[in-house]
């Protein structure tokens, strides 16, 4: 079972920062999950919320701020807001990167970025999973590339995620620990889909997911899972 650090290692360091991703890498994770928005000037920015208000000392919507404006802001503990390219450089192919799309303009920008990255560097499409709760964003990814691994995120109805994933010829379904059942894992596997479960933060749940043969968990605390 693979271990993915949630927003880097959100339980150990500030989420979606270089420090958080570096912390996850300390525990030899199989992957890190990060969230991506597109800022006003077009760059892909790593941030969970639509605004920077909760996690930084600044305020405003990511989509309405330029890259330079975002770089002039620091998080609540003084870190900078990273671009997707900075996360990729830090990971340096040491693990898979699960890019969760946030915002309507992210899908094609991420596809374009990954195509150039794969063409010009040592990275492969297999090193990434592009996931989202938004079916339309995932559809845009699939139409633009049949090589990028697509992950269908779901919050309440695992059956719906499996159905969408089959239609999109997705790689995986990403299901919440709150409502997943072993039958969902079996159904996904029977349809050729990988199963990743979020957010698994307690050791007994980790062991339970392992016994159900899920393919990976996404956790705030990769330290307890290694």
Q: Is 40 helix (H, G, I), strand (E, B) or coil?
A: coil
Q: Is residue 99 part of a domain?
A: yes
Residues 6 or more apart in contact with residue 163 via CB below 8 angstroms: none
Q: Is residue 226 part of a domain?
A: no
Residue 199 preceded by cis peptide, ω within 30:
yes
The alpha carbon torsion through 7, 10, 16, 18 (nearest 10 deg) reads -120
Tokens of 162: 């499996």
Mean model confidence pLDDT for the chain: 97
CATH value at residue 203: 3.20.20.190
Q: Is residue 124 part of a domain?
A: yes
Closest CA to 139 of 165, 157, 176, 112: 165
For 199, the domain range is: 2-219
Backbone angles phi, psi at 112, to 5 degrees: -60, -45
Residue 145 pLDDT exceeds 90: yes
What average pLDDT does the segment 217-223 reach? Answer: 97
pLDDT at residue 84, as a whole number:
98
pLDDT tens for each residue of 101-117: 998 899 999 999 999 99
Closest CA to 44 of 16, 6, 78: 16
Residue 5 pLDDT exceeds 70: yes
pLDDT tens for each residue of 37-59: 999 999 999 999 999 999 999 99
Residue 104 preceded by cis peptide, ω within 30:
no
Residue 225 pLDDT exceeds 80: no
Backbone angles phi, psi at 211, to 5 degrees: -70, -25
Handedness of CA 65, 67, 73, 78 (dihedral sign): positive
pLDDT at residue 104, as a whole number:
84
DSSP 87-112: HHHHHTTSSEEEEEE-STTHHHHHHH
pLDDT at residue 103, as a whole number:
86
Share of the chain above pLDDT 70, in %: 100
pLDDT at residue 21, as a whole number:
98
Residue 83: DSSP 8-state: B
pLDDT tens for each residue of 154-211: 999 999 999 999 999 999 999 999 999 999 999 999 999 999 999 999 999 999 999 9
What average pLDDT does the segment 59-71 reach? Answer: 98
Count of structural domains, the chain:
1
Residue 72 pLDDT exceeds 90: yes
With a threshold of 0.95, does the pTM exceed it?
yes
Q: Is residue 142 part of a domain?
A: yes
Rounded Cα–Cα distance for residues 205 and 73 (Å): 37
Tokens of 37: 């928005």
pLDDT band at 226 (very low <50, low <70, confident <90, very high): low
Rounded Cα–Cα distance for residues 174 and 10 (Å): 18
Q: Is residue 224 part of a domain?
A: no
Q: Is residue 225 part of a domain?
A: no
Burial class (CB in 10 A: 0-12, 13-18, 19+), 144: middle
């Amino acid at each position: 079972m693979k271990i993915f650090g949630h927003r880097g290692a959100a339980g150990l360091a500030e989420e979606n920062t270089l420090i958080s991703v570096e912390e996850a890498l300390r525990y030899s994770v199989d992957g890190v999950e990060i969230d991506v928005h597109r800022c006003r000037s077009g760059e892909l920015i790593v941030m969970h919320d639509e605004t920077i208000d909760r996690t930084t000392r600044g305020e405003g919507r990511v989509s309405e701020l330029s890259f330079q404006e975002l770089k002039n802001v620091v998080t609540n503990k003084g870190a900078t807001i990273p671009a997707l390219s900075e996360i990729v450089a830090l990971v340096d192919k040491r693990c898979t990167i699960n890019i969760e799309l946030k915002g309507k303009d992210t899908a094609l920008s991420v596809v374009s970025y990954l195509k150039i990255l794969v063409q010009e560097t040592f990275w492969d499409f297999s090193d990434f999973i592009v996931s989202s709760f938004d079916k339309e964003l995932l559809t845009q990814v699939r139409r633009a590339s049949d090589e990028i691994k697509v992950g269908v995120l779901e919050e309440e109805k695992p059956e719906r995620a499996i159905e969408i994933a089959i239609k999109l010829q997705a790689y995986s379904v990403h299901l919440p620990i709150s409502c997943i059942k072993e039958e969902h894992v079996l159904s996904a596997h029977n349809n050729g889909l990988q199963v990743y479960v979020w957010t698994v933060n307690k050791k007994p749940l980790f062991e339970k997911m392992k016994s159900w043969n899920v393919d990976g968990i996404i956790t705030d605390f990769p330290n307890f899972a290694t």
